[in-house]
């Protein structure tokens, strides 16, 4: 500052002294001038007015000519509210007009808006205006309030370049100018028209938001911008006021306006060409005709599907259909008594209000499915029997009882009524039919030639006998051949031997020669042997001697032999003429060794067992 | 925008050529016609330098020999000052210096340059070289011509560089 003081002195000293002199005279004059004018006004008001009229007018005119811009700038804040008022007035008028236009017009959109207005509880014009007003925020500037420097800017892509910094500076300068000339707080520059744009300036404590808008924005846009400005202040607060060198260190400030949001508040132009009544009517009629066509077409599709469905149902055949679309339908149907009833079937596939009438004619259907159904009912076919239906063939597979098998073969051909019936896959279930006779002998097999089943293999004599009995009782001779069954006789003999063991001859005296029960045994054998040997087989009678545990082992052996010989001799004498077949055993076989008593007994053996 | 713009203000008496200097610097144009500036006119210009590009927002304030209230508000937030005098009118230099002192009291340490304009009219020059030399001891002084473009670029560039140095 020293330098400057020195400079000041150097440059201004002489001037200062001269000014001081002048200042005194001027101060005097300014003191007197108001008084003089006041005096003149009082004494000669008309004369003063007349004297001033011309120069004042002249001065004003000249001022307007020379400083047009300055005058405009000065008047701007005064005029703006008036302009805004008139714009509001205009919009009200527009809304009135729109109201009338849309009230009397019958467009689809008008109807939609009317509904929306009712839903939101606002006037119809409000809704119409909201939808028809077009606007776009072309530029949005966040401006540092003090310096007029741009903090963030967003512009719609594709617009001619704009010197945003200069515009922001000018806006700030104008704002300052307005405030300076009108007085702070009284009026602020808040909106203006700039060319085709509407300019909005929203003021914040540290930064202002300026929006250049094309079209007529809704008031809600202003709210949106205010919110945005507040958000920026909330986020950065006093930092927004710092110098440019520090601004750089505030992260995110350059994106503070969030351009993605900005796009959301742009409304796209919605243009709907006005439809003349004739066109409307034409379109209406066309739509009606099309709609009717579509409805009829849909009905025909439905009926076709219905008839196809009925025809595919076994036992049903539609012979005639007539209908009044979506109103009534009448059908003529051939129906097998076994097929489902037609009326409920039709009703379930059509809307309730459609009247349905069905005329049925009874037939016996030759469709394989119906044939099968008939057979199932008449012959009581079991579920296990599976069926395979082709267009003209009915193939049955599975196992059934012999009776059912017979019934199928004898009566099915009558029920088939022209359908080819294939029963080769159906088998009579013999194991099941014979299950009551005890377990199936493991060596017995069944084979069928398609009509008769033949059982072959070895089975016990008793099982074969039971089968024979059942065979005769059921009359299975046409179905079952038993000639190949062979009886197993060794088993029979084992049974007989078990009884013979109880029929031993005892020797009380310990010596051979006077055994008791010889005659009873001889009689029993005499009845048994001829029956056993009737089939041409021969039986050997084996005699066994037994002894009690007392006495020496060698004596016991001898006694056993003597007792066997004695039995043989006795039986031989009583039974006669079986010389070859008699045989004697000296020692007891192992399975009889526990039987230690003074006795002798016989066992039978097949000679050359089968 | 790689960094935030810097605001500079042009101050000086009326008719010294502030608007013409800006026109020359920003748009490289010049007009003989004198249209006095009302209020303020803002322009911007990008300055390329070794470290990249920075932006100057130039406030051309209406000519005054002293700052009134309104002009003071225009100065707010400025980082640099350009004081302009007309070399053919000696009192305009005094106005410029007076304005500089006034502005400096309002701003925090602004970067300053003094431009003595219309150097193309050197034969009608009223300011003594000795005065300028004396002045150069305290503030950078450029002799310029908006008409020919002499010294204009250099003066702005100097101020821009000065602002970069501040950061
Ligand atoms: N010969 C010459 N004329 C100049 C030069 N610079 C400006 N002028 C002329 O000087 C006159 C005033 O120039 P402006 O640039 O309008 O001056 P200003 O400082 O902006 O004036 P205000 O806005 O009233 O303060 C114009 O007629 C210009 O043509 C210059 O370098 N040489
Ligand atoms: Mg100017």
Report pLDDT digits (tens) over B46-83. 998 888 888 999 999 989 888 888 888 899 999 999 99
Residues 166-195 of A with CB under 8 A from B: 166-170, 173-174, 176-177, 179-181
Residue that the structure tokens 């340059």 belong to? B113
The C-alpha atoms of residue B6 and residue A150 are separated, in whole angstroms, by: 10
Task: Report the C-alpha gap between A297 and A35 in whole angstroms.
Answer: 103
Task: Compute the distance from residue B146 Cα to the ligand 2 centre, in Å.
Answer: 12
Lowest mean pLDDT of A235-239, A359-363, A400-404, A603-607, name the range.
A603-607
| Residue A200 domain-assigned (yes or no) | yes
A454, A488, A522 - which closes a domain? A488
Determine the distance in angstroms separating the CA of A69 from the nearest CA of chain B, rounded to an integer. 8
Domain end call among A488, A520, A551: A488
| Among B23, B39, B107, the residue to mutate for chain A (most A Cβ within 10 A) | B39
Q: How far is CA A166 from the centre of its chain?
A: 62
Question: Given this model, what pLDDT does residue A260 score?
Answer: 53
A482 and A497 together in one domain:
no
**Structural domain includes residue A333:** yes
Give the CATH number for residue B26.
3.40.50.300
Q: What is the mean pLDDT of residues A556-563?
A: 82
Threshold 0.90, pTM exceeds = no
- What does the pLDDT average to over A441-455? 84
| Ligand 1 nearest atom to the CA of residue B33, by list position | 27
Give every CB contact of residue B16 below 8 A, 6+ residues apart in sequence.
Answer: B63, B84, B85, B86, B89, B92, B96, B117, B118
Q: How many CA atoms lie within 13 A of A324 on its CB side?
A: 7
Residues of A in contact with B141 (CB under 8 A): none
A493 confidence band (pLDDT: 50, 70, 90): confident
Residues 6 or more apart whose CB falls under 8 angstroms from that of A262 comprise A137, A140, A154
Our answer on whether the CB atom of B20 is closer than 6 Å to any ligand 1 atom is: yes
Question: Would you say residue A160 lies in a domain?
Answer: yes
Residues A429 and A344 in one domain: no
Residue A419 near residue A396 (C-beta atoms within 8 A)? no
- A259 and A144, same structural domain? yes
Question: What spatial distance separates the first Cα and last Cα of chain A, rounded to whole Å?
Answer: 150
d(C-alpha A424, C-alpha A412), whole Å: 13
pLDDT of residue B28: 93
A512: confidence class by pLDDT, cuts 50, 70, 90 = very low
In this structure, are A456 and A351 located in the same domain? no
Assess: ipTM above 0.95: no
Residue A553 has pLDDT above 60, yes or no: yes
Grouping H, G, I as helix, E, B as strand and the rest as coil, residue B143 is: strand
pLDDT tens-digit map of A405-429: 888 887 777 766 677 788 888 888 8
Q: Kindly state whether residue A76 falls inside one of the protein's structural domains.
A: no
Closest CA to A476 of A547, A540, A403, A531: A403
Sign for the pseudo-dihedral over CA of A368, A371, A376, A379:
negative
Mean pLDDT of A34-38: 83
Tokens of A180: 């300076």
Instruction: Name A498's Cβ contacts closer than 8 Å, sequence gap at least 6.
Output: none
On average, the pLDDT of chain A sits at: 78
**Is there a single domain that holds both residue A148 and residue A228?**
yes
Give the domain extent around B124. Answer: 2-166
A229 & A314 share domain: no
Which residue in the block uniquely carries the two structure tokens 């012959």? Answer: A379
Which comes out higher in pLDDT, residue A216 or A120? A120
Three-class DSSP category at A257: coil
Residue A334 vs residues A309, A311, A340, A376: alpha-carbon distances, Å: 14, 10, 12, 22
Residue B63 burial by Cβ neighbours in a 10 Å radius (0-12, 13-18, 19+): buried
How many structural domains is chain B composed of?
Answer: 1
Contact B43 A166 (CB under 8 A): yes
Residue A29 structural domain: 3-66
Give B88-124 pLDDT, tens digit per residue: 999 999 999 999 999 999 998 999 999 999 999 999 9
Provide the pLDDT for residue B35: 85
> From edge to edge, which strands make up the β-sheet containing A191-194?
A150-155, A135-144, A207-215, A197-203, A191-194
pLDDT for A368 beyond 80: no
User: What total number of domains does chain A contain?
Assistant: 5
Residue A402 near residue A434 (C-beta atoms within 8 A): no
Inter-chain touch A15–B94, beta carbons under 8 Å: yes
């Amino acid at each position: 500052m020293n330098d400057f003081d020195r400079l000041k002195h150097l440059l201004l000293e002489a001037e200062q002294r001269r000014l001081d002199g002048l200042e005194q005279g001027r101060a005097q004059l300014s003191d007197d001038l108001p008084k003089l004018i006041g005096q003149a006004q009082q004494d000669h008001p008309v004369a003063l007015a007349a004297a001033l009229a011309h120069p004042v007018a002249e001065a004003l005119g000249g001022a307007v000519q020379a400083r047009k811009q300055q005058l405009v700038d000065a008047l701007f804040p005064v005029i703006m509210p008036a302009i805004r008022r008139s714009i509001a007035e205009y919009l009200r008028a527009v809304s009135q007009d729109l109201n009338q236009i849309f009230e009397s017009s019958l467009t689809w959109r008008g109807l939609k808006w009317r509904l929306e207005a009712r839903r939101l509880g606002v006037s119809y014009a409000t809704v119409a205006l909201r939808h028809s007003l077009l606007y776009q925020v072309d530029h949005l500037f966040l401006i540092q309030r003090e310096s007029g420097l741009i903090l963030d800017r967003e512009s719609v892509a594709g617009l001619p370049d704009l010197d945003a910094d200069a515009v922001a500076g000018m806006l700030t300068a104008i704002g300052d100018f307005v405030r300076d000339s009108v007085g702070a707080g009284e009026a602020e520059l808040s909106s203006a028209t700039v060319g085709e744009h509407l300019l909005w300036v929203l003021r914040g404590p540290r930064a202002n938001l300026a929006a250049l808008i094309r079209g007529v924005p809704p008031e809600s846009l202003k709210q949106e911008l205010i919110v945005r400005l507040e958000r920026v202040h909330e986020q950065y607060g006093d930092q927004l006021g710092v110098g440019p060198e520090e601004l750089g260190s505030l992260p995110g400030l350059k994106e503070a306006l969030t351009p993605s949001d900005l796009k959301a508040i742009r409304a796209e132009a919605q243009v709907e060409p006005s439809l003349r009544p004739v066109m409307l009517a034409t379109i209406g009629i066309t739509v009606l005709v099309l709609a009717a066509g579509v409805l009829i077409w849909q009905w025909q599709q439905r009926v076709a599907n219905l008839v196809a469905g009925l025809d595919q149902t076994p036992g049903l055949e539609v012979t005639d259909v007539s209908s009044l679309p979506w109103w009534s339908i009448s059908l003529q149907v051939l129906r097998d008594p076994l097929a489902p009833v037609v009326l409920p079937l039709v009703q379930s596939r059509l809307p309730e209000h459609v009247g349905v009438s069905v005329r049925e004619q009874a037939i016996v259907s030759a469709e394989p499915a119906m044939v099968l159904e008939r057979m199932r009912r008449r012959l009581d076919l079991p579920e296990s029997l599976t069926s395979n239906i082709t267009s003209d063939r009915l193939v049955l597979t599975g196992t059934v009882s012999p009776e059912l098998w017979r019934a199928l073969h004898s009566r099915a051909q009558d029920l088939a009524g022209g359908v080819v019936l294939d029963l080769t896959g159906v088998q009579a279930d013999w194991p099941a039919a014979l299950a009551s006779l005890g377990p199936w002998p493991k060596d017995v097999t069944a084979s069928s030639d398609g009509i008769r089943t033949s059982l072959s293999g070895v089975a016990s004599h008793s099982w074969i006998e039971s089968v024979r009995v059942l065979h005769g009782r059921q009359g299975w001779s046409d179905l079952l051949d038993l000639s190949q069954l062979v009886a197993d006789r060794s088993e029979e003999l084992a049974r007989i031997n078990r009884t013979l063991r109880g029929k031993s001859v005892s020797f009380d005296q310990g010596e051979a020669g006077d055994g008791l029960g010889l005659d009873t045994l001889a009689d029993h054998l005499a009845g048994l042997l001829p029956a056993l040997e009737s089939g041409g087989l021969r039986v050997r009678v084996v005699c066994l001697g037994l002894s009690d545990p007392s006495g020496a082992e060698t004596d016991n052996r001898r006694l056993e032999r003597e007792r066997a010989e004695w039995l043989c001799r006795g039986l031989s004498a009583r039974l006669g003429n079986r010389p070859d077949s008699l045989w004697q055993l000296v020692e007891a076989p192992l399975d009889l060794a526990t039987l230690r008593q003074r006795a002798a007994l016989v066992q039978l053996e097949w000679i050359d067992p089968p | 925008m790689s960094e935030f713009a810097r605001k500079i203000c042009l101050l000086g008496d009326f008719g010294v050529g502030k608007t013409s200097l800006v026109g020359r610097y920003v748009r490289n144009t010049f007009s003989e016609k004198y249209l006095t500036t009302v209020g303020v006119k803002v322009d911007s210009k990008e300055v390329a330098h070794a470290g990249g590009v920075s932006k100057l927002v130039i406030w051309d304030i209406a000519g005054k020999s002293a700052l009134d209230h309104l002009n003071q508000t225009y100065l707010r937030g400025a980082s640099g000052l350009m004081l302009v005098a007309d070399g053919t009118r000696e009192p305009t230099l005094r106005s410029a210096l007076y304005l500089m002192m006034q502005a400096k009291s309002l701003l925090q340490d602004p970067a300053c340059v003094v431009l003595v304009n219309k150097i193309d009219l050197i034969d009608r020059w009223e300011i003594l070289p000795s005065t300028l030399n004396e002045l150069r001891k305290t503030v950078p002084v450029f002799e310029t011509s908006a008409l020919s473009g002499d010294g204009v670029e250099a003066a702005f560039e100097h101020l821009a560089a000065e602002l970069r140095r501040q950061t």
